[in-house]
Amino acid sequence: MPQPHRPQPRPPADAAPEPTGAEPTGTEPPGAGTYTAPPTGTAPPTDAAPPGAAPARALDGILVADFSRVLAGPLAAATLADLGAEVIKVERPGTGDDTRAWGPPFVADPPSGEEPPSGEEPAPHEGGAPRRGTAAYFDAANRSKRGLALDLGDPDDAAAARELARRADVLIENFRPGSLAKYGLDHTATRAANPGLVHCTITGFGSGAGARLPGYDFVVQADGGPPWTELVGALGGGLMSITGEPGGTPLKAGVALADVLTAKDATTGILAALRHRDRTGQGQLVEVNLLSSLLGSLVNQASGHLATGRDPGPMGNRHPSIAPYETLACRDGQLLAVAVGNDRQFRELARALGAPELAEDARFARNEDRVQNRTDLIKALERRLASDTPHGWTERLTAVSVPCGPVNTVSEALELAQRLGLDPVTPVGEGRIPQVTSPLRLSGTPVAQPFAPPRLDEHGTALRTWLSGPADHPLPPHV
């Protein structure tokens, strides 16, 4: 079967020729990988597109088949869309991605003049009232995608899914290991049909002993939970065990952090695999799992355990190795986050508080002393901070380069980003939830302007027609 045509980004005019073999040669052309500084006085290169030309995107020409659901996989696919990839989101007919129902809040879908794709009435709320629209949760991870509903149990739909995998550059899925084999969509089958495919599989606990375990974020964050089996008793990623107040109930993070971190790891792995394909023409399997991503995020806490053999415990907002690096009470008990990372900053803090003698006190002079005498230190600081509000202290301490700030709500954080010129919110159409702006800023290949997440099977007719046609026909334009 002929391979589909995939437009690839043009290499720079001065790029070295690519190896002609299927595998890398292990050597680089002379001078490759070295940087030569331009002559003194040379004008810096411009990254801007020529006047009137649309800016290039880093992943122009890349097609992503997003078979994943919930958060980690969809968020990784949305990030690839930000970078210019075309993303097709494949969902179950009738219900779609689980997160379409994860509300409230729900937002009404824009009118389409069509019945629900299943031909049925919309799913009801608890209590029986019909629910129109999609949960805001879904919109958070599904911007800039085309929607296609396929029932993998239907032979025709399964064939369309296999054809999509054959045409794609990247496939993302989070099915339980082995469950896609019966549809011909496991990585062995997809890469046999499409050797250049980067197949990314996301699981909760890997493809070994944890392969059959469902991987919801909350379970992975947990510090063990009821030991109804030995394996589940040892499952948790440890984050909850170090989150909360000393002696209190372990707490999860306020967002599905394991999923978000896994999404970023998946994106990194996919981009690395695409770079390898640029050199060799060969795709590969990319495996990530929530537990490993969360363990990797424990950084100093995991390193401290490996160094001492002791388990860290919860410390509230305090830092185990730095002081003061926590929230401190100001006037009326309002909280100020202070992050003093070195002795110079502590001296500036002490002076700004009108107590320079604190920096000369043997209990507080060095960071390790401050950590050992944290209780006395915090009492001394809060006694002086009580004279002003967090906002007042933020102005005074920031002026002397002491990192600090009030504890913002989500709305206040967005307002702060707007004041700082970061444009944190991007509109995606009338009546649709605005999107949080991508944090990426690329001078030569800026991120794409996002468009609204798809309704269930919104682009299904055009995509099914495309998948049933010649493989070298281009993807129909997005409307």
Known catalytic residues are 259
| Measured torsion, CA atoms of residues 7, 189, 477, 69, in degrees rounded to the nearest 10 | -130
Distance of alpha carbon 54 from its chain centroid, rounded?
27
| Phi/psi at 405 (5° precision) | 175, 160
**Could you tell me which of 241, 268, 269 has the C-alpha nearest to residue 253?**
241
**Could you tell me which of 134, 64, 71, 72 has the C-alpha nearest to residue 453?**
134
The residues that bridge with 90 in the sheet, in sequence order, are: 148
By CB neighbour count within 10 A (0-12 exposed, 13-18 middle, 19+ buried), where does 173 fall? buried
**Could you tell me which of 372, 390, 248, 385 has the C-alpha nearest to residue 322?**
372
Cβ neighbours, 10 Å, residue 12:
7
Q: Where are the alpha helices (DSSP H) in 194-239?
A: 217-221, 230-233
d(CA 365, CA 404): 20
d(CA 47, CA 55): 10
Does residue 458 contact residue 148 with C-beta atoms inside 8 Å?
Answer: no
d(CA 309, CA 302): 10
Distance of alpha carbon 117 from its chain centroid, rounded?
29
In b/e form, how buried is each residue of 238-251, taking b as 16+ CB within 10 angstroms? Answer: bbbbbbbeeeeebe
**Could you tell me which of 218, 222, 175 has the C-alpha nearest to residue 199?**
175
By CB neighbour count within 10 A (0-12 exposed, 13-18 middle, 19+ buried), where does 82 fall? buried
d(CA 241, CA 259): 18
Does residue 139 contact residue 107 with C-beta atoms inside 8 Å?
Answer: yes
> Helices (H), strands (E): how many in the chain?
15, 13
How far CA 25 is from CA of 147, 248, 331, in Å, comes to: 41, 57, 66
**Could you tell me which of 282, 373, 280 has the C-alpha nearest to residue 324?**
373
How far CA 275 is from CA of 58, 165, 284, in Å, comes to: 12, 19, 11
